[in-house]
Amino acid sequence: MAVERIKCLIIGSGPAGYTAAIYASRADLKPVVYTGMEPGGQLTTTTEVDNFPGYPEGIDGPTMMVQLQQQAERFGTEVRIGMITNVEFSSEEGGIHKATVDNTTEIEAESVIISTGATARYLGLPSEQRLRGGGVSACAVCDGFFYKNQRVAIVGGGDTAAEEATYLANICEHVTMLVRKDEMRASKAMQHRVNSRKNITVLYNTEVEEVVGEQVVEGLKMINNQTKEVSEIEITGLFIAIGHKPNTDIFKGQLEMDETGYILTDGKSTKTGKPGVFASGDVQDKEYRQAITAAGTGCMAALDAERYLASVEEKVEA
């Protein structure tokens, strides 16, 4: 059976993947998007998206992703439900990249845009999983606004947790920060910022035992892991800030990554170390992690891919 050859393969279907698809299809690269296990990406687990430009009334995450998909399809993008399970990237300029879909079908691509995103780490408690979208969130910048003048808690002791705690302190009545160890991992400057806020209480050696509430978060049952003392507080929002895991396992050994697994790109571009392979969105961005920044790098990846394919064509013709 003949192996399918495509011009532009896009792996992943969040804001980065679909924006890349919009630009790539308008440039006549005839992109094929494979959605992965979570079509629409992390935004499909979010209810209200209030900070994406162009939606004055806000929009819910799943609706927004459906609209992005429809926009990409309008220009000729082919969206396929499926998971890329293996890749073999060429190191040659103009080389052909191979990908396996669902461990069965092989396809070949002249260019590849990786937009597989990252997955927020959660604590793994049944009560936490049950209340995701009902007051449990992994993004204070995305969802903090909904808890204006309310009491919330945040779990984590690193720079992200410290930064999000101070962000929440600006809009919430009170923030309780739960740190598992007897000190924060955050930089001294970030710790100072947390400690200087009167409406942040930091509880060390403290872990979540249970998130209280049926439909929405109503409180938190906590345990001191040294004294084993259990206590409870009333809150309406719980933010988990214990890190993200980029979805890059299948690219290990083929692309350069940092120690966490984020794909490294060249300067301000989306170029990886392999010619014709580009990375966009949360898979290469651990700093901002917003839908709008992911969409921005998706645009960049499509432009980088278009320029790459044009330069390869020129060399062939020459």
Tokens read off for 275: 């010619």
10 Å CB burial of residue 227 (0-12, 13-18, 19+) is exposed
Dist. CA 277–CA 223, nearest whole Å: 47
Dist. CA 127–CA 116, nearest whole Å: 27
* From 143, 282, 285, 304, active-site residue: 143
| Torsions phi, psi for 147 (to 5 deg) | -115, 30
| Residue 102 annotated as catalytic | no
* From 139, 282, 285, 304, active-site residue: 139
| Torsions phi, psi for 150 (to 5 deg) | -115, 175
| Residue 299 annotated as catalytic | no
Is 16 in contact with 281 (CB distance < 8 Å)?
Answer: yes
* From 142, 282, 285, 304, active-site residue: 142
Query: Other CB atoms closer than 10 Å to residue 53's CB: what's the count?
Result: 7
Is 150 in contact with 216 (CB distance < 8 Å)?
Answer: no
| Residue 172 annotated as catalytic | no
Q: What's the CA dihedral at 180, 186, 190, 194 to 10 degrees?
A: 0
Q: Which residues are catalytic?
A: 139, 142-143
